[in-house]
Amino acid sequence: MNINPRIFRGYDLRGLVGKDLSPEVAEHLGRAYGTYMKRHGITRLVVGRDSRATGPTYSAALIQGLLWTGAEVVDIGMTLVGTFYWSQYHLTCKGGVFVSASHNPPEYNGFKFANDFSETLVSDGMQELRRMVQEEDYEEGPVHGSVAVQDIREEYYRDLLSRIMIGKKLRVVVDASCSTAGAFAPDLLRRAGCEVIEKNCEVDPSFPLGVADPTSSIIATRVRGEVLEAHADIGFTYDADGDRIGIVDEKGDIIWNDVLTAIFATDVLHNHPGATIMYNILCSKTVEETIVRHRGIPFMWRVGHSFLKKKNQEIGAAFIGELSGHFFFSKDFYNHDDGLYATLRLLSYLARTQQTLSQAVAVLPHYASSPEIKVYCADENKEALIKKISPILRTAYPDAQVIDDERAGDGVRLNLPDAMFVVRYSQNGPYLTIKFEGKTNERYHELAKFIHDLLKKFPEIDWNSSINLNVEALKEEGE
């Protein structure tokens, strides 16, 4: 089959609806993936999807392809991707597919392909799937499979609530940006004993408020106003498939997720002294310093939740955190990210320690830190552009510790005594990601201007793309 090879990314598949993706493509993907899993001895598969408009159509076509190979399918319908991973254990399905394009704009959709409990295909596996589709290397089952529709929501809620008790009635704002989490998070939090103020929890596949991305300054600023208006203890927002969260404290301050990683590390090390805590290269120096302060073992690894999960099979970290808002409580839950589990876990920590969120943040090492910034660069140019930028950074900061080995994976990180910054290309979209911080506001603004002026030299970057995120953190420094 003729298919755009670039939609097969580092740890999932994402493409444009009507251009890269169609029901026909989805059915071919089902035939390829069903064949791939059958060759690995797995024929029982679970299928779920988020709230995107094409989700039902693509999910149905995918299932037809899976059934053609003889697979037995459990269709759990619209749900969160963390619930999908949880369902693998509940339904005893090592394989499965979740239909989602995560935080990409509504004109995209995609697929995550599970190949074990809490695990998904990455790199080589994704490229093998690409080859199979292109060559139509499929095996029809001697008997076509069957599909069972099952709602697992109640069992999922019961399991989470049996694991985590909050112990205090907290007033919580939930802003789901009209995406999937709106159908789940408020209900669960009320069952956990919280008073919930719902904002934008009506599911609307058109994304009327824009892309549901908890790392967006625009969304975080909106939640800030909602928290202050409601006199709430905390505000939560989620991405379209609900595995990532964003938070605002009771004072309306936006707390970026690397700082939340440090808070979670503190909580985990209380229960698991001396444990390894894994985090990605985009995270603030606050994270490593907090882990060391609490006598844990810091371990930094490349960006990408599937890469982190895979590495954790070797490292055995008790917890993994990402700037993007993926959190894995591997020692206490499963080795996958789950936005609702992370939500309950944070509320439980605040109740147990009798702190507000602002008090929990105040005791951490402080850096003036940027949000996660994304600037458009075409897929065919982004890797080459990083190779151009890397030597410039080395020359500009000759005394910096440069991390550009397998820990960086797809970019470069520079550590300085009073600062750090990262420039990398994305595995799942046409953009570069930038993160920087300084010990003082002056140092922060100096780095922001340097990075802005550097990137402005390259025509490969489109500063006006709809994919861009938080670019105002750079633009205001250079223009």
Which residues are marked as active site?
Answer: 14, 102, 326
Question: What is the distance between the alpha carbons of residues 463 and 467, in angstroms, rounded to a whole number?
Answer: 10
- In DSSP terms, 74 is beta-bridged to 46, 148
DSSP track, 205-228: TT-TTS---TT-HHHHHHHHHHHH
Question: What is the distance between the alpha carbons of residues 181 and 165, in angstroms, rounded to a whole number?
Answer: 21
Q: Are strands 373-377 and 431-438 parallel, antiparallel or unpaired?
A: antiparallel
Q: Are strands 95-99 and 44-49 parallel, antiparallel or unpaired?
A: parallel
> Can you list the alpha helix ranges (DSSP code H) found in 334-471?
339-353, 357-362, 379-396, 441-455
Extract the tokens encoding 149.
């529709």
Q: Are strands 13-16 and 108-116 parallel, antiparallel or unpaired?
A: antiparallel
In the chain, count H helices and then E strands.
15, 23
For residue 195, the one-letter residue type is E
Question: What is the distance between the alpha carbons of residues 88 and 326, in angstroms, rounded to a whole number?
Answer: 19
H or E segment and range at residue 175: strand 171-175
